[in-house]
Amino acid sequence: RAGLVSLTVERGAPPPPPKERLVSMNGKFVTVKDPPPPGPNGTGFVVTVSGGASDTPGETADILDRTNVVVGTVLEGMDVVEAIAALPTVKDNSSSPFFAVAKSIGDKRATVAEQAFGKPFAKVTVARCGIVRDEPPAPSETE
C-alpha cells in the first residue's frame, strides 16, 4: 500500500562471507579475515510509493517482507514522496564485463559503485517530519 513508513531492521540479502587476506605482522605473513559489515541500526527507513504487485489495502510492498517494521503512514505530502521517488538514480551496472572483472579481482571501487546502485544522484535529507502545525503550541505553566 502506498504511503507506508517503515524502519529497516534487516538486510534483504545475507552478508557476503568474510574475505581472507594476507598481511604482515611482526615480520611474518598471516591470514586475517575482514570483519562483516555492520547490520542496520534503525536509522534507515523506507516510504512505499506503491503496493508493488497490488495497491489493495492490507497488502504491503514486497520490499518490506522480513526486512522492515512498519511504523506509520504518510498523512499529507505524498506528492513530495512521489517527487523524491522520481529522482534519477544510479543505474545497476552489474552486467558490465568491466564491473564483473573489477568485482572478481576485489577492486574496492567496484564494491563502492555497487552500494550506489539504485540510489538517487541527489542527496535527499529529511529535515522535518511529523505533523506540522500552523501555530506553535501554547506554552505550558511549567515554562
| Nearest C-alpha neighbor of 63 from the set 55, 73, 52 | 52
Mean pLDDT (the chain, rounded): 77
Between 143 and 102, the more confident residue is: 102
130 in helix, strand or coil? coil
Is 70:64 a contact under the CB 8 Å cutoff?
yes
| Separation in Å, CA 69 to CA 6, 41, 60, 124 | 5, 13, 11, 21
Percent of the chain scoring above 70 in pLDDT:
72
What is the pLDDT at residue 60? 56
pLDDT at res. 55: 47
What pLDDT score was predicted for residue 135? 66
Q: What is the pLDDT of residues 33-82, one digit of tens each?
A: 877 766 666 667 778 887 555 445 455 566 677 778 888 888 888 888 88
Residue corresponding to grid cell 552489474: 94
Q: What is the pLDDT of residue 88?
A: 92
**For residues 87-99, average pLDDT:** 89
Domain boundaries, the chain: 1-13+36-86, 87-131
Report how far residue 22's alpha carbon sits from residue 109's, in angstroms, rounded to the nearest whole number.
20
DSSP-assigned letter for residue 121: S
